[in-house]
Amino acid sequence: MAKLEPPTTTDVVAAEDLPTSEETRRQRAFDLLWRSWLFFFLLALIAYFWLTTPPHTFLAGDNFKLIALNTSEVILLAIAETFIIVTAGIDLSIGGILLFAGVCGAKTMLSLSGTHDQVAMGLYPHATRAIAAGVIVCIAAGTMWGLVNGLLITLLRLPPFIVTLGTLGVTFGLSDLISGGTNFFAPVPPSFTNNVGNGKILGLFVPIWVAVVILVIAHVVFHHTRFGRYTAAVGSNEEAARRTGIAVNRHIVEVYTLGGFLAGIAAILDLAIYTNISSASHQTDNLNAIGAVVIGGTSLFGGVGTVLGSAVGAFIPTVTQNGLIIENVQPFWQEVLVGATIIFAVYLDQVRRRRTNR
């Protein structure tokens, strides 16, 4: 009987080639820290201002509520930019859209609240209907500009950077034409500010609740619906998405329209909080929104993003500005820090991509 020879090849991996349980735990811990760096950065920023500001100032409960109130607008703009940037696009006009929607909404509220003399004297006899009309105008104006951006990008096949840079100038210019380049002659109806801007539910300002509700909805849509999957697919590989049957152009239009819609809601909150609006107060909205998205882990190259990360990133500029104001430091340093952090975040994204492709 012939003697069987052992096989010359084997599929068994040598024990030394397998990662040990300690190496696996170390790698998992590193990946967790890598994904959570922004959260620790925010904690470090809070700790810094806690140590460098007078006692009972920065860490006061009322101050944190104020920070959250000021961040509510940035969160809405950051959510809009997240969907857009994940499609490998960008919207430089998001701040201009907010301004235009707010100017149109404020103009509507003041025009319908009563005569010019009545409003100038602080009388708003028709405030209820004026507020309702102004809210509708804000949303309609913002949505309209988002739709315009999407149509120009898809129908004319123009780069999003160029289109939104152009609409940024148009929206700011039209806003100054409507408002005269300054604040309106009177604030919006006080009842609007009292019930929305300064109104509270369970101890938190109404705009904070609006931002939280929209954030939860956006997270669910982005991660658990077809719309979110299509958004990531378009950003990962537009041609492959088109071949799988996704109506890419229509989806891009929908994403930019969504961005305009959220900018319109942010304009409503802006009017409710600050009672008036002008272009001078919205010069850095684009930087804050895009900075929050990129800092939050969304890749500028598309396909990768997280709504919750963008929300955390939205607190970076507002926490920084709040701390600098308490320290009596010029808030212009906020722009320096946000710009530098954007560069650092993009570098981290490049490093992550190189590690993934190895």
Residue 336 — φ and ψ, nearest 5°?
Answer: -65, -45
3-class DSSP state of 57 = coil
What the block records as the tokens of 166 is 């152009």
pLDDT of the chain, 358 residues: tens digit per residue: 455 555 454 444 444 444 555 556 665 555 555 556 677 778 888 888 888 888 888 888 888 888 999 899 999 999 999 999 999 999 999 999 999 999 999 999 999 998 988 998 989 999 999 999 999 999 999 999 999 999 999 999 999 999 999 999 999 999 999 998 888 889 999 999 999 989 999 988 999 999 999 999 999 999 999 999 999 999 998 889 999 899 999 999 999 999 999 999 999 999 999 999 988 888 888 888 988 898 888 888 888 888 988 998 888 878 888 888 888 877 677 778 777 776 776 676 667 666 666 6
Apex 93 CA angle, 91 and 94, nearest 5: 80
Distances (CA, A) of 91 to 254, 295, 346: 13, 16, 17
CA-to-CA distance for 326 and 329, rounded, in angstroms? 8
Q: Please name the residue ranges forming H helices in the chain.
A: 21-35, 37-52, 61-86, 94-113, 116-120, 127-155, 160-179, 190-192, 206-224, 226-236, 238-243, 248-274, 285-295, 307-326, 333-357
CATH number for the domain whose boundaries are 59-357: 1.10.3470
What the block records as the tokens of 140 is 């309609």
Residue 342: CB atoms within 10 A of its CB come to 20
Task: Please report, as a single letter, which amino acid is at residue 309.
Answer: G
The residue behind tokens 């929206």 is 171
Residue 48: CB atoms within 10 A of its CB come to 14
pTM of the prediction?
0.85
Answer yes or no: are the C-beta atoms of 280 and 103 closer than 8 Å. Answer: no
